[in-house]
């Protein structure tokens, strides 16, 4: 589990594809807080550390992961947001982020405002059903608040600090971004569907949904 608070921006060193792809990322901070087998959010995608070298982390990525995210588009020199998984006792900021990408959105506009930047992202309907105004969403692994939304997309207001410490400051209209909606909305929908179909929120359903 992650919080969506980016710890550093890493630099892609290489990406090889195949039956199992391998992504190598240069890291200064996260590398000091992880061990082999640990999970790291790489631009919103939960990946497992498979190798630790001198100033670099390696991750394996299966075709399913590459196909459902923007990782397949990475090139050497590209920048990625990185966050180590949340540990017990660590301050919980942002919101609950699993690192399970729901889909890919497209940045359609970036407007410079007096104290912030407004970014508009268009997203598929299966994602927008879980997006609500003032709710949380993870964009490339960054915990952000939805400023407004409609059937085709949403806007976020980004402060200068977030632009400086994440990849958002590098984004341009037309760029693709990984999106993960708030997990709470998905559970609420499942419970409501169970009630509407004549069922109830039972211990069995809670266990199936991961709450117990």
How does pLDDT run across 51-97, given as a tens digit for each residue? 999 999 999 999 999 999 999 999 999 999 999 998 776 767 788 89
Q: Is the pLDDT of residue 200 over 60?
A: no
Nearest to 76 by CA among 54, 56, 106: 56
- How far is it, in rounded angstroms, from Cα 177 to Cα 64? 17
**Is residue 24 a contact partner of residue 13, using CB atoms and an 8 Å limit?**
yes
What pTM does this model have? 0.87
Q: Is the pLDDT of residue 204 over 70?
A: no
Q: What percent of the chain has pLDDT over 90?
A: 74
The residue with tokens 């710890």 is: 7
**Is residue 140 a contact partner of residue 78, using CB atoms and an 8 Å limit?**
no
Helix (H, G, I), strand (E, B) or coil at 4: coil
* 8-84: CATH class: mainly beta
- How far is it, in rounded angstroms, from Cα 92 to Cα 3? 7
Architecture category of domain 103-185 in CATH = Beta Barrel (2.40)
Q: How many CB atoms lie within 10 A of CB 28?
A: 13
The CATH 2.40.30.20 portion of the chain extends over: 8-84, 103-185
User: What does the pLDDT read at residue 193?
Assistant: 72
């Amino acid at each position: 589990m992650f919080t969506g608070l980016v710890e550093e921006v890493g630099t892609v060193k290489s990406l090889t594809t195949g039956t199992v792809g391998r992504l190598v990322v240069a890291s200064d901070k996260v590398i000091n807080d992880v061990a082999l087998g640990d999970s790291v959010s790489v631009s919103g995608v939960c990946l497992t550390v498979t190798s630790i070298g001198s100033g670099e982390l390696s991750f394996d990525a299966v075709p399913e992961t590459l196909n459902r995210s923007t990782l397949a588009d990475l090139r050497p020199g590209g920048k990625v947001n990185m966050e180590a998984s949340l540990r017990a006792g660590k301050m919980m900021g942002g919101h609950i982020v699993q690192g399970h990408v729901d889909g890919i959105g497209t940045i359609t506009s970036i407007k410079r405002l007096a104290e912030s930047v407004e970014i508009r992202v268009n997203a598929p309907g299966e994602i927008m059903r879980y997006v609500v105004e003032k709710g949380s969403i993870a964009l490339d692994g960054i915990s952000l608040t939805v400023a407004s939304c409609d059937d085709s997309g949403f806007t976020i207001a980004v402060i200068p600090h977030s632009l400086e410490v994440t990849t958002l400051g590098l984004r341009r209209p037309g760029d693709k971004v990984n999106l993960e909606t708030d997990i709470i909305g998905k559970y609420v929908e499942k419970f409501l569907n169970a009630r509407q179909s004549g069922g109830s929120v039972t211990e069995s359903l809670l266990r199936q949904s991961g709450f117990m």
